[in-house]
Amino acid sequence: METKAFLVVDDDPAERSILADTIKVAFPGADVRQMGDPDRVLGLIGECDFDCVLMDYNMPQMDGLALAKALRALSPYLALVMVTGVGDETLAADAVRSGVSDYIPKSRINPDAVRRALSRAIHENELAHTIAEQRKELESFAYALAHDFKQPIRQIRTFTKLIENELKPGDNQEMQQHLTFLSEAARRLGNLVDVMAQYTLLSKVPQLGEVDLAKVICEVRDAVAAFIAERRGELAVGELPKIRGNQTLMIQVIQNLIVNGMIYNKSRVPRVEISGDVQDSRCLIAVRDNGIGIESEYLTEIFTPLKRLHPSSEFPGTGLGLTLARKAVVQQGGRIWCKSEVGKGTTFYVDCEYWQPKVELRAAV
* Sequence-distant (≥ 6) Cβ neighbours of residue 252 within 8 angstroms: 324, 325, 328
Of the pair 320, 364, the CB lying nearest ligand ADP is at: 320
Write the interaction track for ligand ADP spanning residues 3-22; mark x where CB under 6 A is met and - where it is not.
Answer: --------------------
* Sequence-distant (≥ 6) Cβ neighbours of residue 78 within 8 angstroms: 45, 50, 52, 53, 71, 72, 125
Instruction: Provide Rg for the chain, Cα atoms.
Output: 26
Write the interaction track for ligand ADP spanning residues 285-304; mark x where CB under 6 A is met and - where it is not.
Answer: ----x-xx-x-------x--
| 271 phi, psi to nearest 5 deg | -135, 135
Of the pair 111, 190, the CB lying nearest ligand ADP is at: 190
* Sequence-distant (≥ 6) Cβ neighbours of residue 182 within 8 angstroms: 156, 160
If one asks whether residue 322 binds ligand ADP (CB under 6 A), the answer comes out as yes
If one asks whether residue 321 binds ligand ADP (CB under 6 A), the answer comes out as yes
Site for ligand ADP in 222-281 (CB under 6 A): 260-261, 264
C-beta atoms surrounding 11 within 10 Å: 16
Of the pair 281, 318, the CB lying nearest ligand ADP is at: 318
Of the pair 331, 346, the CB lying nearest ligand ADP is at: 346
Q: What is the C-alpha to C-alpha distance for residues 156 and 219, in angstroms, rounded to an integer?
A: 42
Of the pair 312, 356, the CB lying nearest ligand ADP is at: 312
Of the pair 121, 292, the CB lying nearest ligand ADP is at: 292
Q: Which DSSP state fits 169?
A: T
Q: What is the C-alpha to C-alpha distance for residues 206 and 209, in angstroms, rounded to an integer?
A: 10
Residue among 72, 106, 215, 308 that touches ligand ADP (CB under 6 A): 308
Of the pair 349, 354, the CB lying nearest ligand ADP is at: 349
Query: By the 8 A CB rule, do 8 and 37 touch?
Result: no
Query: Smallest distance from the beta carbon of 152 to ligand ADP, in angstroms?
Result: 24
- Part in contact with ligand ADP (CB under 6 A); list of ranges 30-38, 59-67, 98-106, 309-317: 309-317
Q: Interhelix angle for 111-144 vs 321-331, to 10°?
A: 130
Start-to-end Cα distance in the chain: 24
> Is residue 362 packed enough to be buried (19+ CB in 10 Å), middle (13-18) or exposed (0-12)?
middle
Output b/e per residue, 140-163; b: 16+ Cβ within 10 A: ebbeebbeebeeebeebbeebeee
Residue among 84, 160, 252, 323 that touches ligand ADP (CB under 6 A): 323
Write the interaction track for ligand ADP spanning residues 150-179; mark x where CB under 6 A is met and - where it is not.
Answer: ------------------------------
Query: Smallest distance from the beta carbon of 262 to ligand ADP, in angstroms?
Result: 8
Residue among 307, 335, 339, 362 that touches ligand ADP (CB under 6 A): 307
If one asks whether residue 199 binds ligand ADP (CB under 6 A), the answer comes out as no
Residue among 75, 248, 281, 318 that touches ligand ADP (CB under 6 A): 318
Dihedral class, residue 13 (left if φ above 0, else alpha if ψ from -120 to 50, else beta): alpha
If one asks whether residue 319 binds ligand ADP (CB under 6 A), the answer comes out as yes
Of the pair 320, 329, the CB lying nearest ligand ADP is at: 320
Q: Where do contacts with ligand ADP occur on this chain (CB under 6 A)?
A: 260-261, 264, 289, 291-292, 294, 302, 307-310, 317-323, 346
